[in-house]
Amino acid sequence: MSSEDSTDAGISSNAFAVFILILFGIILLVYLLSNPIKQALNSCRLKIQTVFTARYWRKVAESHKEELDNFFQPLHMKKKEISENLDVLEIGIGDGANFPYYPEGCNVYALDPEDIFQAAVQNNIKKYPHLTFKKFYCSPAEDMSFIKTGSLDIVISTIVCVPLEMWEKF
């Protein structure tokens, strides 16, 4: 074997080792970045879902005003029973699309598993000066241990369980 043959073999194996190191580095980088990428994609998905949910609920509300007035009638009746403000917890509040149906003098407590709705609720309630926003709880409805039993006058929930078929319409 000549000296040229051993030099070519060394260069070839060094290039292969460098290639393997670069490939390993790329795989490691993708692995380390995968969690932030997943989080960013999930955040975008939630924001898009929020917009579509609000848009869908507003379409439903426009076409079913009489049914919604009837649905919220117990809220109005409860308000007539008490002279002070009515403490209302809305489960799955979204962006507050139900605010037009609340009677005057309600203290609104919001419960939603997605914290991205908090800013939307706070902005939307400004359009309804007859309501007072009290607190946003970011939690699933299955755990409301942080709310004292008997501290609220009424609990409402609308369009919380959205069927998969609804998403397919968009």
111 phi and psi angles, rounded to 5 deg: -130, 120
Average pLDDT of the chain is 81
pLDDT, position 170:
44
User: Given the structure tokens 């946003």, which residue do they identify?
Assistant: 136
Residue 167 has pLDDT above 50, yes or no: no
Between residues 65 and 21, the one the model is more confident about: 21
Residue 74 has pLDDT above 70, yes or no: yes
**In this structure, is the dihedral angle defined by the CA atoms of residues 76, 97, 112 and 67, taken in order, positive or negative?**
positive
Convert 140-162 to b/e letters by CB count within 10 Å (16 or more is b): eeeebeebeeeeebeebebeeee
For residues 112 and 96, the answer to whether their CB atoms sit within 8 Å is: no
The pLDDT confidence band at residue 120, using thresholds 50, 70 and 90, is confident
Average pLDDT over residues 92-100: 87
> Any bridge partners for residue 132, and if so which?
107
* Predicted TM-score of the model (pTM): 0.64
pLDDT, position 22:
92
Instruction: List the structure tokens of 157.
Output: 């929930």
pLDDT, position 35:
76
Domains for the chain: give ranges and CATH numbers. Answer: 41-166 (3.40.50.150)
pLDDT, position 5:
52
Average pLDDT over residues 79-94: 87
- For residue 136, the surrounding DSSP H or E stretch is strand 131-138
Highest-scoring range by mean pLDDT, 10-24, 59-73, 77-91: 77-91
- Residues whose CB is less than 8 angstroms from the CB of residue 159 and which lie 6 or more positions away in sequence, other chains included: 53, 56, 57, 60, 92, 94
